[in-house]
């Protein structure tokens, strides 16, 4: 009998089951109103359009679309991405700056593989995207957490500088800072234009790669957007991740990385070892979807829906949550999530099971903290629950929170 565990590599031993995936199994019961998942609303999936496009593409270029493709991407898709980045973000790119990936999560994994040696410090926001933490953790990252400012403008840049200074003095080889700057998962916070500028200055001063992971940027339903950091950067320090998961459909598993040629080339080589190429099929369908101008339309449709749902959630919270100086929430101008902070003595890890008893679910904030603290916080998703469920679910949650208030 083989002892499987004994045979696992050091990297495999570091792998942990995702806390969220385990929790989601509990919240799938139909009687539970779940604000837990990070799913786009299925109403936004362009099913009829995809049926028509699959038919067209298969008849026109099925022999190519079902074949292995180049690692650097299906040419028609890369071409659409270049136009998209120009139109949406003002970027002048060449194909050498772009690599299609099997979604952003693959990009995070490949970047971890390329950049992280065991015990390398990786600087992350507190809170940050759990999937980023898992991807980097398997390569032995040592996380250094940078808190967010309370004014909702994103990470505390003074703290970031302090941590960089300390690491530099200790002779540590930090390589990159990971940020989710637009409607962050989990907090919904967007990094302000001034802070973006400062972070880029620091990336020059302290010589670090800035990893800008931005799946929600296009989903801005109010307010004005700060610039992409890739656009603002004049030194070639930034690598940006994009995905079609929230603007089109996560089932396609399609995304892309934008970065300096040298880095994209290395990423390409790592990708060859990982999956040879992003599926030609999904890239060919996506290229046609974009060529028909349907991506913009889909995004517009999603934005209308998410704006309505976000307002329903915030209105319900204003109405039903206890008035308390230490109970507050973010009010994002886009994306899929908002973030609730409760008085320090709350433990949302423990409270989760009581919430499920009351038939409402959220994700505990500690799941997104590299130090597993922040136990008085929770992530709330507003894109997936139906409009009808939002008010009821918030009422249930507010009643539970009220019952646990000590003052």
Which residues is 178 bridged to in the sheet? 124, 211
What minimum distance in Å lies between the beta carbon of 184 and ligand PLP?
A: 7
- In terms of CB distance, is 188 or 215 closer to ligand PLP? 215
Structure tokens at 12: 């495999």
Phi, psi torsion values for 144, nearest 5 degrees: -120, 115
What minimum distance in Å lies between the beta carbon of 212 and ligand PLP?
A: 10
What minimum distance in Å lies between the beta carbon of 70 and ligand PLP?
A: 21
What minimum distance in Å lies between the beta carbon of 103 and ligand PLP?
A: 3
Looking only at the bridges linking them, the beta strands covering 328-329 and 337-341 are antiparallel
Where is 58: in which H helix or E strand? helix 47-65
- In terms of CB distance, is 254 or 317 closer to ligand PLP? 254
- In terms of CB distance, is 105 or 351 closer to ligand PLP? 105
Where is 347: in which H helix or E strand? none
Binding site for ligand PLP (CB under 6 A): 38, 103-105, 129, 131, 180, 185, 213, 215, 243, 245, 250, 255
What minimum distance in Å lies between the beta carbon of 57 and ligand PLP?
A: 22
How many of the other CB atoms lie within 10 Å of CB of 166? 13
- In terms of CB distance, is 213 or 369 closer to ligand PLP? 213
- In terms of CB distance, is 73 or 250 closer to ligand PLP? 250
In 3-state terms the chain splits into helix, strand, coil percentages (rounded to 5) of 50, 15, 35
SS3 call for 15? coil
Residue of 404, 349, 406, 393 whose CA lies nearest to 372:
349
What minimum distance in Å lies between the beta carbon of 102 and ligand PLP?
A: 8
| HEC readout, 298-334 | HHHHHHHHHHHHHHHHHHHHHHHCCCCCCCEECCCCE
- In terms of CB distance, is 116 or 321 closer to ligand PLP? 116
């Amino acid at each position: 009998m083989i002892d499987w565990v004994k045979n696992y590599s050091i990297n495999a031993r570091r792998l942990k089951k995702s806390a969220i995936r385990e929790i989601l199994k509990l919240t799938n019961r139909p009687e539970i109103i779940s604000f837990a998942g990070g799913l786009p609303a299925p109403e936004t999936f362009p099913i009829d359009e995809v049926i028509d496009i699959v038919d067209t593409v298969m008849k026109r270029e099925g022999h190519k679309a079902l074949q292995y493709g180049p690692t650097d991407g299906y040419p028609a898709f890369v071409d659409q991405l270049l136009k998209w980045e120009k139109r949406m973000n003002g970027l002048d790119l060449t194909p050498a700056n772009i690599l299609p990936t099997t979604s952003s999560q693959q990009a995070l994994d490949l970047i971890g593989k390329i950049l992280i040696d065991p015990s390398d410090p990786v600087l992350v926001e507190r809170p940050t995207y759990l999937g980023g933490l898992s991807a980097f953790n398997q390569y032995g990252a040592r996380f250094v957490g940078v808190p967010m400012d309370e004014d909702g403008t994103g990470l505390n840049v003074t703290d970031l500088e302090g941590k960089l200074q300390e690491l530099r003095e200790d002779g540590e080889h930090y390589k990159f800072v990971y940020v989710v700057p637009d409607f962050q998962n989990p907090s919904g916070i967007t990094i302000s234009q001034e802070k973006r500028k400062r972070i880029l200055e620091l990336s020059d001063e302290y010589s670090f790669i800035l990893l800008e992971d931005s799946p929600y940027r296009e989903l801005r339903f109010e307010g004005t957007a700060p610039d992409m950091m890739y656009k603002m950067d004049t030194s070639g320090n930034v690598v940006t991740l994009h995905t079609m998961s929230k603007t089109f459909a996560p089932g396609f598993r399609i995304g892309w990385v934008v970065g300096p040629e040298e880095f994209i080339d290395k990423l390409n080589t790592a990708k060859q070892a990982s999956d040879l190429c992003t599926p030609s099929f999904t890239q060919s369908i996506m290229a046609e979807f974009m060529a028909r101008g349907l991506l913009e339309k889909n995004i517009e449709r999603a934005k209308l829906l998410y704006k309505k749902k976000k307002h329903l959630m915030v209105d319900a919270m204003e109405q039903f949550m206890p008035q308390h100086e230490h109970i507050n929430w973010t009010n994002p101008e886009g994306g899929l999530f908002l973030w609730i902070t409760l008085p320090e003595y709350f433990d949302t890890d423990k409270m989760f099971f009581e919430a499920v008893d009351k038939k409402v679910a959220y994700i505990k904030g500690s799941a997104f903290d590299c130090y597993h603290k922040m136990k008085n916080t929770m992530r709330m998703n507003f894109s997936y629950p139906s409009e009808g469920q939002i008010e009821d679910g918030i009422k249930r949650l507010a009643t539970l929170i009220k019952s646990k208030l000590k003052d």
